[in-house]
């Protein structure tokens, strides 16, 4: 019998099998699991549960809310192997890569454990005679998160641990392509002692999302996914009076300067371009070589390094990366490689049709290197989201920076150089939200915040960290005077100063 991944509502896993969708193992190309797609009734149950749980959770002391997160962190660590296996079976990433994603998720739980400190607020004594003023950060109510397939453990944990310790109740709509690890993680949070209804998971598609965007009981929406959907989510949530942060797609460039340590740059680029099959929003998918000498050395050494890469199934830890998520996505990635070739770029290493023994029907694409790419090619504009590194050759650093600044996305970028002045100029002037200097994947740690610029993020506040606390709370400022007995203030018609 096919296993159906259900929803977590009011502390209980429920199946609603009116509509379901196949979930594939991308390494075998087969589906042994289905995911339930929430109906309107299921959505209503989830929202009602979250709303009912809110008043008591809001008034639970922050230290007690944090204690649940301490226990949750322990359960995540104790059950890491199971979580990573579930990620591998449905997403396809290799176990070592899944472990890295889980660790970065856990770091967000650790940050959330600091809730009492994070929610302390601000206090000023004597802002006027006998007048004190303070700001406190109150929860919003029921808030929602909508997440992508590529980090089924980490990205949800960018959202719900912090939202929940801030006193909100939460409804998560994970990706329908790899829902099992996310649901299991939510069950662990329940096991950690969270009251029923504080954390709810609804699996589903656009139908479920649209309820979250329009129901007036939902106060805020965090979204991570592709740019066209992010734009839709942001516009619709705003039109319905909700606070929204919507993180979108990316095209991340690395500049390789003539003075860079090329061997180091090649090692870093290899992991950042092909790790997780390039299905990371921070993947480096374009290397911009400054000068022909750097370009020639980069392409030659990268070609050499790529000979050692193996693509294969998630459960063999010696594999470097796994399949892409679906058969349709494999075709899309192959299509972009072909379009680059047709546009005159040079396919130096061709991964369009890799052979993976024992996995003839898997959605595999091998590591691909394309040289002489130019900014007018479709393959340059698009987020390919596959194991494809494109090399663009330019003459100067200014030209390289202009390419990056002119691109519609501004998520991450990196410069490989030994020149501190160049690196400083780059980080100061580049129009990108997350910048690496000899660091290829500059994903901010949990106590900073994550977010791109331009069409990589719609909204004002970045995800998690200090911005996350601000996103999931609203400021209230109180000004207080306790007059001494018998003292009466006179009437004043002028503005208080
Ligand atoms: P996606 O946009 O297809 O889906 C994301 C979520 O939106 C899913 O939960 C999905 O069910 C829902 N969704 C899809 N279509 C919808 C519609 N028409 N209406 C309402 N909801 C809809 O993204 P994906 O393919 O799952 O993930 C990959 C994308 O996510 C890439 O573009 C990647 O760059 C991006 N991403 C961005 C970040 C970031 O922090 N900026 C992080 C991870 C992934």
Read off the pLDDT of residues 411-468 as tens digits, 9 standing for 90 and up. 999 999 999 999 999 999 999 999 999 999 999 999 999 999 999 999 999 999 999 9
CA–CA separation, 313 vs 356, rounded Å?
A: 9
pLDDT at position 488 is 79
Better-scored residue on pLDDT, 2 or 423: 423
pLDDT at position 253 is 98
Which tens digit of pLDDT belongs to each residue from 260-281? 999 999 999 999 999 999 999 9
Query: With 90 as the cut, is the pLDDT of residue 32 above it?
Result: no
The least confident of 12-16, 204-208, 248-252 is 12-16
**390-394: average pLDDT:** 98
pLDDT band (50, 70, 90) for residue 487: confident
Collapse the DSSP code of 419 into the 3-class scheme (helix H, G, I; strand E, B; otherwise coil) and give the result.
coil
C-alpha 136 – ligand 1 centre gap (Å): 33
- Of 157, 229, 275, which is best to mutate to test ligand 1, by the most ligand atoms within 8 angstroms of its C-beta? 229
Structure token pair of residue 83 = 């979580």
Query: With 80 as the cut, is the pLDDT of residue 87 above it?
Result: yes
CA–CA separation, 478 vs 35, rounded Å?
A: 47
C-alpha 169, offset from chain centre: 20
pLDDT at position 16 is 85
Domain 3-248+456-478 has CATH 3.40.605.10: yes
High-pLDDT (> 90) share of the chain, %: 95
pLDDT at position 63 is 98
Q: Which of 114, 103, 100, 99 is nearest to 69 (CA)?
A: 114
Query: With 90 as the cut, is the pLDDT of residue 17 above it?
Result: no
**112-137: average pLDDT:** 96
pLDDT band (50, 70, 90) for residue 1: low
Q: Which residues line ligand 1 (CB under 6 A)?
A: 146-151, 155, 173, 175-176, 205-206, 209, 224-226, 229, 247-250, 281, 383, 385, 411, 452, 456
**68-82: average pLDDT:** 98
Where in 316-408 does DSSP place strands (E)? 346-349, 368-371, 388-394
CB 141 within 8 A of CB 219: yes
Nearest CA to ligand 1 atom 22: 206
pLDDT band (50, 70, 90) for residue 101: very high
C-alpha 174 – ligand 1 centre gap (Å): 10
Q: What share of the chain is helix, strand, coil (3-state, %, to 5)?
A: 40, 25, 35
How many CB atoms sit inside 10 A of residue 304's CB?
Answer: 10
Active-site annotation holder among 113, 166, 281, 414:
281
Helix 227-239 × helix 206-214 angle, to 10°: 30
C-alpha 142 – ligand 1 centre gap (Å): 22
Domain 252-437 has CATH 1.10.8.60: no
CB 138 within 8 A of CB 98: no
pLDDT at position 205 is 97
**229-250: average pLDDT:** 98
**89-108: average pLDDT:** 98
Nearest CA to ligand 1 atom 38: 281
pLDDT at position 76 is 98
pLDDT at position 33 is 95
pLDDT band (50, 70, 90) for residue 497: confident
Better-scored residue on pLDDT, 492 or 184: 184
**36-54: average pLDDT:** 97
Respond yes or no: is residue 84 known to be catalytic: no
CA–CA separation, 282 vs 337, rounded Å?
A: 20
Query: With 90 as the cut, is the pLDDT of residue 490 above it?
Result: no
Atom of ligand 1 nearest to the CA of 248: 41
Measure the CA angle with vertex 154, ends 366 and 34; round to 5°: 70
Query: With 90 as the cut, is the pLDDT of residue 137 above it?
Result: yes
pLDDT at position 424 is 98
Nearest CA to ligand 1 atom 20: 206
| Domains in the chain: boundaries | 3-248+456-478, 252-437
């Amino acid at each position: 019998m096919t296993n159906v991944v259900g929803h977590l509502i009011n502390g209980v896993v429920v199946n609603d099998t009116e509509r379901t969708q196949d979930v594939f193992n991308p390494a075998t190309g087969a589906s042994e699991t289905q995911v339930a797609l929430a109906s309107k009734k299921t959505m209503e149950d989830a929202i009602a549960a979250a709303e009912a749980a809110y008043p008591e959770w809001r008034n639970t002391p922050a230290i007690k809310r944090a204690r649940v997160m301490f226990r949750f962190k322990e359960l995540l660590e104790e059950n890491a192997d199971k979580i990573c296996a579930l990620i591998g079976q449905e997403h396809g990433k290799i176990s070592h890569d899944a472990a890295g994603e889980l660790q970065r998720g856990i770091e967000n739980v650790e940050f959330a454990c600091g809730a009492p400190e994070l929610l302390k607020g601000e206090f000023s004594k004597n802002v006027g005679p006998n007048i004190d003023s303070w700001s406190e950060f109150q929860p919003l109510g029921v808030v929602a998160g909508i997440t992508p397939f590529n980090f089924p453990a980490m990205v949800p944990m960018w959202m719900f641990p912090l939202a929940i310790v801030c006193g909100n109740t939460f409804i998560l709509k994970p990706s329908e392509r790899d829902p099992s690890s996310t649901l299991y993680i939510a069950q662990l949070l329940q096991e950690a002692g969270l009251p029923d209804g504080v954390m709810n998971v609804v699996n589903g598609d656009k139908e479920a999302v649209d309820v979250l965007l329009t129901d007036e009981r939902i106060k805020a929406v965090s979204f991570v996914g592709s740019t066209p959907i992010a734009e839709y989510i942001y516009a619709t949530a705003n039109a319905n009076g909700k606070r929204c942060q919507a993180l979108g797609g990316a095209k991340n460039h690395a500049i390789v300067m003539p003075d860079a340590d090329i061997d180091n740059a090649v090692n870093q680029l290899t992991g950042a371009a092909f790790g997780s099959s390039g299905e990371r929003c921070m993947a480096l998918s374009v290397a911009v070589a400054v000068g022909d000498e750097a370009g020639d050395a980069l392409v030659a050494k990268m070609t050499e390094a790529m000979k050692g890469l193996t693509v294969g199934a998630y459960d063999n830890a010696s594999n470097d990366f796994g399949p892409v998520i679906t058969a349709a996505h494999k075709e899309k990635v192959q299509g972009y490689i072909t379009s680059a070739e047709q546009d005159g770029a040079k396919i130096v290493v061709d991964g369009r049709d890799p052979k993976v023994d024992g996995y003839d029907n898997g959605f595999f694409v091998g590591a691909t290197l394309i040289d002489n790419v130019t900014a007018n090619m479709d393959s340059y504009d698009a987020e390919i989201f596959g194991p494809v590194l494109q090399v663009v050759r330019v003459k100067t650093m200014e030209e390289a920076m202009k390419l990056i600044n002119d691109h519609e996305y501004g998520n991450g970028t990196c410069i490989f150089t030994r020149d501190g002045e160049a690196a400083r100029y780059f980080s100061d002037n580049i129009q990108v939200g997350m910048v690496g200097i000899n660091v290829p994947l500059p994903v901010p740690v949990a106590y900073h915040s994550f977010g791109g610029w331009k069409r990589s993020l719609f909204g004002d506040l970045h995800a998690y960290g200090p911005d996350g606390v601000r996103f999931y709370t609203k400021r209230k400022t109180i000004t207080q005077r306790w007059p001494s007995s018998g003292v009466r203030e006179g009437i004043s018609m002028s503005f208080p100063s």
